[in-house]
A and B are shown apart, each in its own frame.
Chain A
Amino acid sequence: MALDELYREVILDHYRNPRRKGVLEGDHIHAEGQNPSCGDEFSLDLAVEDGKIVDAAIQGIGCSISQASGSMMAEAIVGKALDEVTDLTHNFKLMMSIVDGENPVDPDRPGSVLGDLEALQGVRRFPVRIKCADLPWTTLEDALSQVG
């Protein structure tokens, strides 16, 4: 059923065991986001060197969708160049129908485009929850806008 598609095991795992939870020491960019209507909060520390994200740390309070999305995002962006992260963000937003355009995910090759993040596709059938999945990504965009 749709609920099991929404709450995949990998999502519950990231919700209960968020990766890269914490804060960064040393030079980093910090951004915070929240959904005022529901109270979800997400904060992100990014260490950027030579146009590349070399480290990330997250903290947050909220539902499984927002927090799992943030945990998977943190895992996905470390080691990527900033333009790759911009592409990833765009593809994620296409997949979630947050921005208009064709869904880049290949149904025949699961995980090939967005990795674990593709598990969040089930959220599309629950339109009121899409903003939950989007919260970490808008926070990421805010952080990236601070890169000088």
Chain B
Amino acid sequence: MSDLRHLRDDFPILATTMRGHPLVYLDSASTTQKPIQVIDAVSEYYKTLNANVHRGAYTLADEATTAYEGARRRIAGFIKAGSPAEVVFTRGTTSAINLVAYGWGLERLGEGDRILLTLMEHHSNVVPWQIIARHTGAELVYLSIDEDYRVDLTDLESALDERVKIVAVSGMSNVMGTIGPVQDLAAAAHAVGAVVVVDGAQMVPHLPTDVGDVGADFLAFGAHKMLGPTGIGALWGRPELLEEMEPAEGGGEMISDVQLYESRWAPVPHKFEAGTPPIAQAIGFGAAVEYLEKVGMEAVRSHEVEITGYALERLAEVPDLEVYGPRDLSERGGAVSFQLADIHAHDLATVLDEFGVAVRAGHHCAKPLMRHLAVPATARASFYVYNVEEDVDRLVEGLEEARRVFGLV
């Protein structure tokens, strides 16, 4: 296994216990743990740099601004954006998608227009579009999921015509791990003049990302699923679209002039950043990206392929266990959803918790997908750079224990 084991020392929480057992953290698709480098960056900011950004004439404020903008530059570099101005800081992936929905969709959509989604979208890439559809009279159309848990593109030609103005798709499913067919969809969408929004909440942390290759118009992602703090995320957009897009929020810092009855906006990206931003969190986001760059995203991906492969292999040994997701490792990331016999996912999570193993149980904020899979809930183990094979072994031991508790052995 491409060994990233040495990274574990950077994560203080991995030395703690849960219910008396060393913590086995298998819920990184929900949120990742934080390395000391990120924790220190946030703490150092408050200790030595704290001041509001883009305002003060004094040196400390200038230094805070430099650090904040430095984080933006680093994040832009991480996704190979053309310039830092293409990166808008948001509260997270959800607010980045909402920014596109309100800033782009609200004024441009109308009766007869369509928004194309897929059945594997997280609620954060469904509900904003439902709201915009309600405001504008546009309608939602969905691409289904095939029996191999991939987005079904067989109906693409009939689903994607000139009526479609926005295509919004996940780069990686938080439930099945499926990598979304983003490039195919982007090419097809552009052929009919639609704008493509990618929910990169799972993709950007787990796959090397070059926005030029992705081919989308907007890419939303958040820091806390990639070693950074909560409360901060980013929207990357094509510069010409960001220029045209309206701000979704008004307030301080996003203006160049305010008159009594109208105002002029600040240049991109600041016109989208009303109010005092989460400065420490942005700096922590920058530190997280720096950490991932040092590890190398190719190494992150190959580690994930290997540990996911090992997990699928070990899970296949557990009787009566069904995995919902692609078998082919090249088509998936490290979120592994499963059901064990008639044991409900919450019960499974309780048993695993008793052994120090943290997994997610429930609908994973993807109810349309759960209905399609015809399961009320699944348990999900998900991996990141700090997970090792022993974590998978502990999971499998816990599952054996669950079978005993539920009288299946």
Contact = CB atoms under 8 A, between A and B. Distances in A.
Interface in A79-126: 126
Interface string B365-402: 00100100000110000000000000000000000010
A129 B405 contact: no
A2 B362 contact: no
Interface in B330-376: 342-347, 350-351, 354, 361-363, 367, 370, 376
Which size class do A's interface residues fall under?
20 to 34
Given A38-B377, A126-B350, A132-B346, 20 more contacts: A3-B350, A3-B351, A3-B354, A4-B405, A7-B405, A9-B407, A12-B407, A37-B362, A38-B361, A39-B377, A40-B376, A41-B376, A61-B376, A62-B344, A63-B344, A63-B346, A64-B344, A65-B346, A65-B347, A129-B350
A129 B343 CA distance: 15
Interface string B40-76: 0000000000000000000000000000000000000
The 7 closest A-B pairs by CB, nearest first: A63-B346, A63-B344, A39-B363, A61-B376, A38-B362, A7-B405, A64-B347
B346 A38 contact: yes
| Interface size class of chain B, counting residues whose CB lies under 8 Å from the partner chain | 20 to 34
Nearest to A39: B363
A128 B370 CA distance: 23
Nearest to A64: B347
A23 interface: no
B362 to A, nearest CB: 5
A64 to B, nearest CB: 5
A6 interface: yes
B281 to A, nearest CB: 25
Contacts of A9: 407
A2 B354 contact: yes
B9 to A, nearest CB: 30
Given A65-B347, A126-B350, A16 B367 contact: no
Interface of B: 342-347, 350-351, 354, 361-363, 367, 370, 376-377, 401, 405-407
Interface of A: 1-4, 6-7, 9, 12, 16, 37-41, 61-65, 126, 128-129, 132
A39 B362 contact: yes
A52 B377 CA distance: 36
B347 A63 contact: yes
A39 B406 contact: no
Contacts of B406: 7, 12
Nearest to A4: B405
B62 to A, nearest CB: 44
12 contacts: A1-B354, A3-B405, A4-B405, A6-B350, A16-B342, A37-B362, A38-B362, A39-B367, A39-B370, A61-B376, A63-B347, A129-B350
A37 B401 CA distance: 26
A2 B342 CA distance: 21
A27 B106 CA distance: 47
Nearest to A132: B346
Nearest to A129: B350
A61 B374 CA distance: 12
Q: Which of A3, A4, A62 has the most CB of B within 10 A?
A: A3
